[in-house]
Amino acid sequence: MALNFLCAGLPVAGVIYSFQISDGMGKTIVLFLVLASIVVWTIMIAKHLELKRAERADQAFMHAFDRQENPLELFVRGPSHPTSPLARVYAAACVAVKREFEAQAHKQHRTISQIDLSQERLTALQIDAIRKVAECAAADQILLLEDQMAMLGSAYTIAPMMGLFGTVWGVMVSFEAMGKQGMANLSAVAPGISSALLTTVVGLVVAIPSAYGSNKLNEKIRFLGIQMENFADKFATRLQQSFLYE
């Protein structure tokens, strides 16, 4: 019932008529904007689901990380939480820790199998280098989360301009036709103006959801990014507590 009422209030017939009487340029712009709208909504829905999965995976990973006594325990156990960006940052940092331990073992003429996490120690300089590795991994994950966001930004920027271009083009064509006919009555001008305004309407229909969706998605990406940056500091602090030379 609500959908029928809403559809009844929309000038669907007028929109269809305006499209039918549009010239080739107007129809091309409208069809392009409709296609852009489909692409935009597909990206927004897919990105929303992706960020939701990442957020849930990050929460599960942090819960597991906070419960471990040794900051390397999850890494030693093996890969876990594969869909979590935080887990990828953690894995990159742990690999950096492993390399530091292996370098120390090599200098001391020990084999990798002789590395004992309970006995190994790191300098403040080494921990700072590991923190930077974690920060770089976090930046890489943020870039992955921002994939295709530029397309949304382009959509809400370009769509209104394309709509305005179509309107200006349509008005110009209408006035040219009116000049050739040598008359300026409303019934002759109105259909052309109506078809010209259609491109602006469609452009705004594409731009408004794109702008809102882009802002909301960027807000979520910013939140996940801050979490990853904070985790780099948290991991470095845990390393200091467990492995820093006294």
- Quick: pLDDT tens for 169-179: 888 877 776 76
Lowest mean pLDDT among 109-113, 163-167, 173-177, 207-211: 109-113
Question: Token digits for 183?
Answer: 């008359």
- Please indicate, yes or no, if residue 134 is contained in any of the structural domains: yes
pLDDT of 58 reads: 95
How many domains, the chain?
A: 1
- Please indicate, yes or no, if residue 8 is contained in any of the structural domains: no
* Torsion on CA atoms 238, 76, 124, 60, rounded to nearest 10: -30
- Please indicate, yes or no, if residue 155 is contained in any of the structural domains: yes
pLDDT of 8 reads: 43
pLDDT of 140 reads: 96
Q: Which domain holds residue 103?
A: 20-243
pLDDT of 239 reads: 92
- Please indicate, yes or no, if residue 12 is contained in any of the structural domains: no
- HSE-CB at 54 with a 13 A cutoff on CA atoms is 24
- Please indicate, yes or no, if residue 180 is contained in any of the structural domains: yes
- Please indicate, yes or no, if residue 13 is contained in any of the structural domains: no
